[in-house]
């Protein structure tokens, strides 16, 4: 995938960004982590009435111990540096029994199934999915380690570090799910941010 990023943000170039997370708006017609949940219940902010502009997911632990929900992602790029990112808010004292709130699970080069990358909020360190294995990696949402505690996660992102950093310049804190075409000169960052929040796809083409 090629990226065209201008040398300065006042130029006339275009920026192509991609979020490889399959369902950033947690639409019920797409894959959602609740279909495969272990020791936790899963709720979706997108189902609130009225619906939230920042759709996300929450996991509440059923019994003390490890809890998680996962979504297979066969289309994640292999042999390409990726990052995970999310906004998170947990009940006071809440923490996962193992690992991080948001993780990518997959096979490493030794053939061991393990966590390849993870974040407790914000952007993770870069990680790479080896190309020699056919099994699809999983994007995993972990629940707190104590019964009754809840974690909320939104603005889920999986993709290139440069894309996430560009997104933070364009619309910090907004969900990255949309197809945003160029606005006329002077259209304004606030207008772009509002459009970004309302969009419903996982690619953006944005004015530089």
Query: Do the beta carbons of residue 60 and residue 148 sit within 8 Å?
Result: yes
Tokens, residue 71: 């979504």
What is the predicted pLDDT for the residue at 58? Answer: 95
Task: Evaluate whether the domain defined by 23-159 bears CATH number 3.40.190.
Answer: no
Quote the pTM value: 0.81
Each residue's pLDDT tens digit, 82-109? 999 999 999 999 999 999 999 999 999 9
**Average pLDDT of the segment spanning 141-165:** 95
pLDDT higher than 70, residue 6: no
What is the predicted pLDDT for the residue at 12? Answer: 43
Looking at every residue in the chain, the average pLDDT score rounds to 81
Backbone angles phi, psi at 17, to 5 degrees: -120, 150
Band of residue 2 on the pLDDT scale cut at 50, 70, 90: very low
Task: Pick 158 or 50 by higher pLDDT.
Answer: 158
Q: How many Cα atoms within 13 Å fall on the side-chain side of residue 60?
A: 5
pLDDT higher than 80, residue 190: no
C-alpha dihedral (145, 114, 23, 67), degrees to nearest 10? -20
Count how many residues are written for the chain.
208
Backbone angles phi, psi at 164, to 5 degrees: -65, -40
**Cα separation, 129 vs 152, whole angstroms:** 26
Task: Pick 59 or 18 by higher pLDDT.
Answer: 59
Tokens, residue 43: 């709720």
What is the predicted pLDDT for the residue at 1? Answer: 30
**Average pLDDT of the segment spanning 2-18:** 51
Q: Considering the chain, what percentage of its residues have pLDDT values greater than 70?
A: 77
Each residue's pLDDT tens digit, 24-40? 988 888 999 988 899 99
What is the predicted pLDDT for the residue at 159? Answer: 94
**Average pLDDT of the segment spanning 141-163:** 96
What is the predicted pLDDT for the residue at 14? Answer: 60
What is the predicted pLDDT for the residue at 51? Answer: 66
What is the predicted pLDDT for the residue at 13? Answer: 53
């Amino acid at each position: 995938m090629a990226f065209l990023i201008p040398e300065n943000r006042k130029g006339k170039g275009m920026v192509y960004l991609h979020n490889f997370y399959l369902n950033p708006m947690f639409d019920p017609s797409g894959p959602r982590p609740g279909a495969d949940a272990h020791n936790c219940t899963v709720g979706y902010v997108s189902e609130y009435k009225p619906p939230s502009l920042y759709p996300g997911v929450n996991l509440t632990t059923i019994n003390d111990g490890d809890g998680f929900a996962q979504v297979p992602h066969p289309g994640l790029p292999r042999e390409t540096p990726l990052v995970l990112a999310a906004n998170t808010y947990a009940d006071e004292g809440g923490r996962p029994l193992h690992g991080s709130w948001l993780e990518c699970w997959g096979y490493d080069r030794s053939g061991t199934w393990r966590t390849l990358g993870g974040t407790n909020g914000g952007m993770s360190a870069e990680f790479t999915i080896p190309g020699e294995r056919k099994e699809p990696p999983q994007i995993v949402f972990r629940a707190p380690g104590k019964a009754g505690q809840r974690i909320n996660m939104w603005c889920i992102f999986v993709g290139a570090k440069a894309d996430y950093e560009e997104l933070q310049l364009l619309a910090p804190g907004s969900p990255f799910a949309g197809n945003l075409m160029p606005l006329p000169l002077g259209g304004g960052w606030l207008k772009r941010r509002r459009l970004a929040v309302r969009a419903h796809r996982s690619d953006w083409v944005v004015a530089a």
